[in-house]
Amino acid sequence: MHALRVVAALFVVGVAMLVYALWGLAGRERTVPVVAVAPAIPVSRLSEVQPVKAIKLEYHQPDLPPGPGHDVFAAQCVVCHSPRYVLNQPIFPRKTWIAEVHKMVKAYGAPIDAGQEKEIVNYLVSWHGKEDPLTVPNSPSK
């Protein structure tokens, strides 16, 4: 008799847990925000739904004008990124180019010596920079 009561009690507890779990799930469903999901179309059939348009973007590397420092710039400043990346910068004053070039050496390990740093700064300032009013032209120093 006693065992039967225990089984009955366990059964009641089990049912209660089940109801609680289902109620919880249902509750969660009610609170989940409805997200609009695009119908699942296999990638291979996407073109049937929407014709594929190819767009070809032209890619031009910037022309690097000849002049003193061109060669060292073109050899050393394109090892880790494109020259375009450098020349997308604004027309910097000399002191900013000095800091930029020096940062490449100090922070990123560009393998150039101090003389090459100066050459590169002069080259950049000559056509993609401007002289600072208070610095002597063609003598990058810091």
- Residue from 64, 76, 96, 118 that binds ligand HEC (CB under 6 A)? 76
Q: Which amino acid is at 15?
A: V
Three-class secondary structure of residue 122 per DSSP: helix
Stretch that binds ligand HEC, among 10-18, 30-38, 48-56, 97-105 (CB under 6 A): 97-105
Binding mask 5-44 for ligand HEC (x = CB under 6 A): ----------------------------------------
Nearer to ligand HEC, 15 or 138 (CB): 138
Nearer to ligand HEC, 50 or 88 (CB): 88
> What is the DSSP code string of 1-62?
-HHHHHHHHHHHHHHHHHHHHHHHHHHHHHHSPP--------GGGHHHHS-----PPP--PP
- Asked whether the beta carbons of 41 and 88 are under 8 A apart, the reply is no
Binding site for ligand HEC (CB under 6 A): 76-77, 79-81, 86, 89, 100-101, 103-104, 108-110, 112, 120
